[in-house]
Amino acid sequence: MADVQDELAALPGVTVLIHDDRCAAEERRLRRRGTIAAPTTRLHINERVCEGCGDCQRVSTCLSLEPVDTPYGDKTRIHQSSCNLDFSCANGDCPSFVRVIPGTKADHVVPDLPVALVDPVVIVNETDTTIRMTGVGGTGVVTVSRIIQMAARLDGRAASGLDQTGLAQKGGPVISDVRIADHELSTAPKASEHMIDLVLGFDLLGVLTPSVADKLTSDRTIAVLNMDTTPTHDQLMRKGPATPNATHVHELIEPLTRAAHNVYLNALDIAEAVVGDHLAANLVLFGAAFQAGCIPLSAAAIERAITLNGTAVATNITAFNWGRAAVIAPDAVAAATAPTIPTVATPRQHPAVLEAVRASAIPPALQGLVTERANELVAYQSASYATSFVGAVDAVARALFASGGSGTEDLLSAYIAGAFKFRAYKDEYEVARLHRDPVEQAKIEREFGKGAKAAVLLHPPILKSLGMKRKLEFGSLARPTFAVLSAMRRLRGTAFDPFGHTAMRRAERALIDRYDRLVLDAVAQLRPENLATVGALVALADDVRGYEDVKLANIARFDEHASDLRIALEASSVPNPA
């Protein structure tokens, strides 16, 4: 399709492309209903191998590729329940993808509610209530609106709704207003200023847009917000501004609302843990808003309305009740829905690492992080490789103390991340090791069921250079090869390293020293007025992501930005003429 578009774009004048195909969202819907057959395999991304470069998003333009925050930085995950199963994300030059034949998934067992539900006390204007909901198309915002209106009628109240869905197919913004009143409503309930009693933020970014935020009032509006955000297209492409963190959200929302009554909830996490379906997140948040006293209807009417809606009835009622429970007993719900598999394996403690850290000038607050990363480098290569990393961090820590500047802990923390990342570059040995990672394998089993068969998709550079265009699948029979490759890591960087002579590997090795020198030079010039420039320089390492051409291009950009920042730093070091 992209090729055809390029061809037409190159023709002079107007060209018309008629693409006659079923839309992907429709295809997904039909598969869910069993009307058309679904492929028998799935794709999975090994988060340890993933570099979070966003290239798979670029090649597939798929919104089911989500950024996921891990202890090793932000990575990419395939959101399975919204995946269109066209597998185009695996087309890039990336060794993170695993093709999975699902195993037997035990029926999802819904846990018992950890607390007894009690009727809430309504704290909004009961006789005339306006609710504004912000969400993302395809996630059931309009369904919640319909449920509220139906429940209001069942309770003998008047209700009306207005949905602003625009072109909100999968992924677009949706605003839905609902008004519940004791009297007949003659006008459309479009919420205007000073009118909103409850803002139900299924999508956080929607609440923070000026057209919604400007209509909230601190003496009337209560915010019930889902803190699990759906990434925007620009965020997926690693271009857009990040969604504000929880503290920032509180700072933005609280002056605009009845802050003491606001509820902040990770509704998506609860939905996936309790009913195994992200689509139930809106019902979880709706349940929380109800229990917080912001929806002046009876629980019985709401449950009846969910039943009359007829879709995923048991799931939606369960999600609604867990949202209620999350307001009554937040800690008990958090404990009951906490993930059972750690996000990353904990590396073994090596005595040489502990000793090196103990003898260093690394501040106590960062010693744990350095120890963890150094232990990981023992598994990556060797104890001496790991202790040389501790030595490099120690040198930067001492240089920072000598500079006496403020903000040194943040700088050191950014350097630790960058120095580790450059040292742990993902060559053939490391990719093999990380594909044997037990936590990653457990994640596949949890997601796809017991007995799931996984095959790693790789495009070995040597075969690529011989003209092979597609990736090969390395399944269970190839596992011993991965073990052998992983064990060969001691050859890394030596004259006997069969993979170490490529331009890619040479560039990766050279980057380690180049970055260290860059940071030490910058820290030597650190002054309060150039702290931001030094910080930007140290943080440059985070942008070097991806594999092969993607990574080489990022390294070139790193060098370009580093050179600009060094010039800026030198200019800031020239004393002003008196």
Residue among 65 and 199 whose Cβ is closer to ligand SF4: 65
Under DSSP, the state recorded for 379 is: H
Stretch that binds ligand SF4, among 22-30, 89-97, 127-135, 137-145 (CB under 6 A): 89-97
Residue 62 binding ligand SF4, by CB under 6 A: no
Instruction: Give bridge partners of residue 74 from the DSSP assignment.
Output: 69
- Using the rule CB under 6 A, which residue among 322, 546, 555, 565 binds ligand SF4? 546
- Using the rule CB under 6 A, which residue among 64, 92, 204, 315 binds ligand SF4? 92
By CB under 6 A, the count of residues binding ligand SF4 is 13
- Using the rule CB under 6 A, which residue among 54, 120, 173, 287 binds ligand SF4? 54
Stretch that binds ligand SF4, among 51-59, 168-176, 245-253, 367-375 (CB under 6 A): 51-59
Residue 231 binding ligand SF4, by CB under 6 A: no
Stretch that binds ligand SF4, among 92-100, 129-137, 245-253, 303-311 (CB under 6 A): 92-100
Q: How far is the CB of 84 from ligand SF4 (least distance, A)?
A: 16
Q: Cα torsion at 98, 102, 107, 108 (round to 10°)? A: 20
Q: Which of 213, 363, 174, 200 is nearest to 267 (CA)?
A: 200
Report strand pairing: 173-181 vs 128-136: antiparallel
Q: CA-CA distance, 124 to 39, in Å (whole number)? A: 48
Q: CA-CA distance, 361 to 546, in Å (whole number)? A: 33
Tell me the one-letter amino acid at 151.
Answer: A
Residue 52 binding ligand SF4, by CB under 6 A: yes
Q: How many CA atoms lie within 13 A of 85 on its CB side?
A: 18
Residue 440 binding ligand SF4, by CB under 6 A: no
Q: Which of 333, 426, 509, 457 is nearest to 49 (CA)?
A: 426
Stretch that binds ligand SF4, among 88-96, 159-167, 412-420, 457-465 (CB under 6 A): 88-96
Stretch that binds ligand SF4, among 48-56, 143-151, 217-225, 319-327 (CB under 6 A): 48-56
Residue 56 binding ligand SF4, by CB under 6 A: yes
Whose structure tokens read 């058309």?
36
Residue among 197 and 440 whose Cβ is closer to ligand SF4: 440
Q: CA-CA distance, 456 to 46, in Å (whole number)? A: 9
Whose structure tokens read 């699948």?
473
- Using the rule CB under 6 A, which residue among 50, 208, 292, 374 binds ligand SF4? 50
Residue 456 binding ligand SF4, by CB under 6 A: no
Q: Classify residue 509 as exposed, middle or buried by CB count within 10 Å of its CB (0-12, 13-18, 19+).
A: middle
Q: How many CA atoms lie within 13 A of 56 on its CB side?
A: 26
Residue among 78 and 374 whose Cβ is closer to ligand SF4: 78
Provide the terminal-to-terminal Cα distance of the chain, rounded to the nearest Å.
Answer: 64
Residue among 324 and 435 whose Cβ is closer to ligand SF4: 435
64-83 residues near ligand SF4, rule: CB under 6 A: 76
Residue among 430 and 516 whose Cβ is closer to ligand SF4: 430
Q: b/e per residue, 117-133, with b = 16+ CB within 10 A?
A: eeebeeebeeebbbbbb
- Using the rule CB under 6 A, which residue among 82, 84, 96, 134 binds ligand SF4? 96
Q: How far is the CB of 411 from ligand SF4 (least distance, A)?
A: 27
> What binding mask, one character per residue, do residues 505-544 give for ligand SF4 by CB under 6 A, x or -?
----------------------------------------
| Secondary structure of residue 380 in the 3-state scheme | helix
Handedness of CA 251, 252, 258, 261 (dihedral sign): negative
Neighbours of 457 (CB within 10 A): 18
Residue 94 binding ligand SF4, by CB under 6 A: yes
Residue among 76 and 221 whose Cβ is closer to ligand SF4: 76
Whose structure tokens read 């912001």?
294
Written as six digits, the tokens of 571 are 């200019």
Q: Which residues bind ligand SF4 (CB under 6 A)?
A: 45, 50-56, 76, 92, 94, 96, 546
